[in-house]
Amino acid sequence: MTGESKNILVIDDELRMCNSLEQLLTTSGYTVTTTQSGKEAVEKIKNEPFDLILTDIKMPEVGGMDILRAAREVDPELIVILMTGYASLETALDAIKNGAFEYLLKPVEFTQLEISVRRGLEKREISLYNKRLLEDLKEAYHNLNNRLLEINALYEAGKSLGSTFNHTELLHKIVTLAAGVTQAEIGSVMLINETGEFMTIEASIGLDRNLTETVHLPVGSSIAGFVAQSGQPLIVDDVEKDDRFKRINKERYSSASLLCAPLKVTERILGVINMANKKEGEKFNEHDLKLLTTFAAQAAVAIDDARQFENNRQKLREFSLLFEISQKLSAVGSVSAMRKVVFEYLRKLMPIDFALWFEWEPVAQHLRPVGAVGTDIPMTDSGTINLDLIKREEITIEDIDFSGIDINDISALTSYLSKKIVDCHAYPRPGINFTALPVLQEKELKHIYCIGSRSERRYSEQEISLARLVISHASGLYEREKALLNATRLLTMGNMISEISHDLRKPLTNLKGWVQILCEKWPEVGKDARFFGMAEEEIQRLNELVRELVDFSKPHKYETEIRDLRKVIARAAELLGPEFRKKEITFTEDYDNCNWDIPINKNQILEIFLNLFINAVDAIDDGKKGSIHIHGEIGRPDFKKADYLAVTVSDNGHGIKKENLPRIFDRYYTTKDTGTGLGLSVVERIIAAHGGTLKVESEYGQGTNFTLYFPI
C-alpha cells in the first residue's frame, strides 16, 4: 500500500488485547484508535473516518455483528474484520452475509492478521478507486451531453459538426463546412501537437497531399503559427505586401488574401483554421473573418468534445478491462498464470510486446527474475533480452544499487535499469520502447515490472498509471500466494511435529525423573547443585524446545515479562561456553549505557541467541582464531521511524554467500549437511512476535553481522 497512513479502529473489551493490537498495527505504519465499548465504537464510526475496523464479536451491550452492520450503513466500502474466540458456523455465515471481509479465530496470529489487514486495505483502495473512476466517467458523460446540447442549439453547420465524433471525419467536415461558410477554395485545419511545439495539417481541401503530409510548422512561425501563438484571428489582404508572412506563404497559396482563425476552447488553443482563394477572385473581408471566427469557436468545441468522447470511451474501456482483470486475477491458480493474465490485459490497454517481472531482494540488494512473457526483443544492435534465460532464472543483477535513484521517477528508473538489464552502449535504440515500473508495498520496493514494445511512441502518463495499478494488484496476489505456500508447508510440518513432540516428551520426562532419583540415591553427588541444577534446567529447556516446535506451525500469544536483555544473552553464552572453549573462540560484549529492561519472553529470546551463537560457532573453521562479539546500543532500522534496542552479533566466520542471503530465513532452507533449516526462521518469527525486526550483513570469507532490533 502506498500513500497516507490508513486509519484503523480496534474494538475489544479486553484492554490488553486492544493495547497489543494497537502496538503491532502502529509499528506497521497504521494510525490506530482503540475502544473497549461497542457502543462508543458505533459513535466513532459515525463521526470519524476509518479505513478498516478490527472488532471482537462477543462484547457486552453492542456486539461485533452490530458494529459490522453499523459500519456497512455508514460506508459500504469500509473493511470490517471480525475476531472471535467462540467460533461457530452460524456466526461465520452471519458475518459473511453482513459483509465482513475476514473472520479470524482467537488467539490471532499477527502475521495472518497483518496479511488480512493489508488485503482488506488493498481491496478498499481498489474499490474506492473504481468508484471514483465511475463517478468521473458519469461526470464526463454529463459534461459531454451538455456540450452536445449547446452545439445542437447553434447554426446548421454546428448541428452537422455535433453529429460527428470520428476525429478524422470531423476534421474533414470542419474544413469543408468552413470553406462553404467563407466561400473559399483552399482550406486546412492545423492542430498543435501534444508538446505544443509545432502544428501539422490534419485535414484540407485544395492543397497538394505531399504538402499536407510534410508540413511541421513551428508555433509562432508564419500566419498560422502567429495566430496559434497569439490566439487572435487574422485577415491578410495581400500576402505579397505583408513583410511578416510573404516569404513563407508565397509557395502555398496563389491568392494574396488569407483568413486564419484560432481553434480556441476557453484559454486553450487547439490549432487554427486557414482559408484562401475566395471564389470568383474576391478578397476576404471582415465579415468573412467574423463568420470564420464564429465557426472556428463551434469547431473547436466539436474537436474538444470529440477528444473528450474518445478519452471517455477509452476510460470506459479501461474501466471494463480493469474490472475483468480483477476478476481474472482472483481466480488464477498460479503465479505464472497471474503473469500471463497481466500481460494479456495490459496488451489491450497499450502496445506491449514483452514483459519482465523482477523481485527486489532487500537483504542481498539485487533483483531476482521471477518471470517473463512475450518474445525475444532486440534492444540494441549488439544485445538482446533473452527471455528464455530469465524464465530459467539464470540471470541475476548483482550490482544493482538504487542509492541516488528515485524509484518513483519512471524516467530515471527506466534509464538506469536499461543499462543493467541490457548490455548496450547507446540507449534507447530507435524503434524500441522500454519502461520500468516500480511496485511498492507499504512504501517499500517489492517488485519491478518492465514492459516494452517495438513502437517508438513512449507510454503516456495515463498508460503508466494504469499499468502500475494492474501490476500492484497482481503483485499483492503474488505475495499472498507466497504466503499461502508457506502456510501450506507449515501446516504439513506442524502435523508431523505434533506427532514427534508427543514421542519426545515421554523420554524427557523419564530423564527428569532419573535425575531426581540419582540426586536422592547419591546425595553426596546431589550436593553439586551446579551439575544437577544445570541438568534439570537443560531438560526443562528441551521441553520448551519441543513446545516451540509445536508452536512453530501454530504460533500463540507470547507471554512476556520485564527482563534485562543482557542477562539473557549472558545465559546463552554460558550454555555454549564449552563450545567456545573447545574451538578457542573469544567471546566479548559491550553495551551502551541505556535501559536494557524490556518486555520479553525469556525462553524464546534465549532460543534466538543460542541459534545465532551456534551458527557463529559452526561458521568458524577449526584452527582459526575465532571471535564472537556482542554490541548493544540504541538504533533505528532503515525503514522505521522509532528507536529500538539494537543488538549486533558479529563473528569472523566464513560468512554467507551473496546468492544465499535472500533465503537464509526461509523455513527448511539450510546449507549445512546436518541442519534442519529451522534455526533462523525461528529467530525471525520470535523477533517479529516481539514487535521487532532484524537485518543481516555478510561478506563471504570475512564474517557475518546479525542485528536484532527490540522495541523499547
Task: For 316-354, give the secondary structure using H, E and C.
Answer: HHHHHHHHHHHHHHCCCCCHHHHHHHHHHHHHHHCCCCE
Task: Considering the chain, tell me which residue range(s) the CATH 3.30.450.40 domain(s) occupy.
Answer: 154-313
Q: How confident is the model at residue 480 (pLDDT cuts 50, 70, 90)?
A: low
Q: What is the pLDDT of residue 527?
A: 59
**Structure-block grid coordinates of residue 197:** 511545439
pLDDT for 347 equals: 82
Q: What is the arithmetic mean of pLDDT over 168-182?
A: 80
- Domain 154-313 is in which class? alpha beta
Beta bridge partners of 445: 440
**Which residue, 532, 505, 466, is CA-closest to 318?**
466
CATH superfamily of 558-711: Histidine kinase-like ATPase, C-terminal domain (3.30.565.10)
Question: Higher confidence at residue 668 or residue 86?
Answer: 86
Split at pLDDT 50, 70, 90, the class of 590 is very high
Instruction: Please tell me the distance from the alpha carbon of residue 603 to that of residue 285, in angstroms, as a whole number.
Output: 98
Grid coordinates given for 457? 511512441
pLDDT of residue 630: 93
What pLDDT is stored for residue 597 in this prediction? 92
CB atoms within 10 A of CB 675: 14
Q: What is the mean pLDDT of residues 514-534?
A: 66
- What is the pLDDT, as a whole number, of residue 151? 46
7-118 is a CATH 3.40.50.2300 domain: yes
| Average pLDDT taken over every residue of the chain | 76
Predicted confidence at residue 481, as pLDDT, reads 63
* Greater pLDDT, 592 or 378: 592
In the chain, which segments carry CATH 3.40.50.2300? Answer: 7-118
User: Do residues 257 and 228 lie in contact, with contact meaning Cβ atoms separated by under 8 Å?
Assistant: no
Render pLDDT for 413-468 as a digit per residue (tens, 0 to 9). Answer: 777 776 666 543 333 444 467 788 887 766 667 788 888 887 767 787 778 888 88
Nearest Cα residue to 709 out of 689, 694, 698? 694
Let me know: does 10 contact 51? Beta carbons within 8 Å.
no
Q: Which three cell numbers stand for residue 174?
A: 470542419
Tell me what percent of the residues of the chain surpass a pLDDT of 90.
7
CB 398 within 8 A of CB 368: no
pLDDT at site 390: 45
Asked whether the predicted pLDDT for residue 494 surpasses 80, the reply is: no
CATH 3.30.565.10 maps onto the chain at 558-711
How does DSSP assign 557-580, residue by residue? PPP-EEEEHHHHHHHHHHHTHHHH
Among candidate residues 711, 541, 685, 708, the one with its CA nearest the CA of residue 609: 708
Q: How far apart are CA 362 and CA 366, in angstroms?
A: 7
Span of 255-264, 305-314, 377-386, 635-644 with lowest mean pLDDT? 377-386
- Which pTM was predicted? 0.38
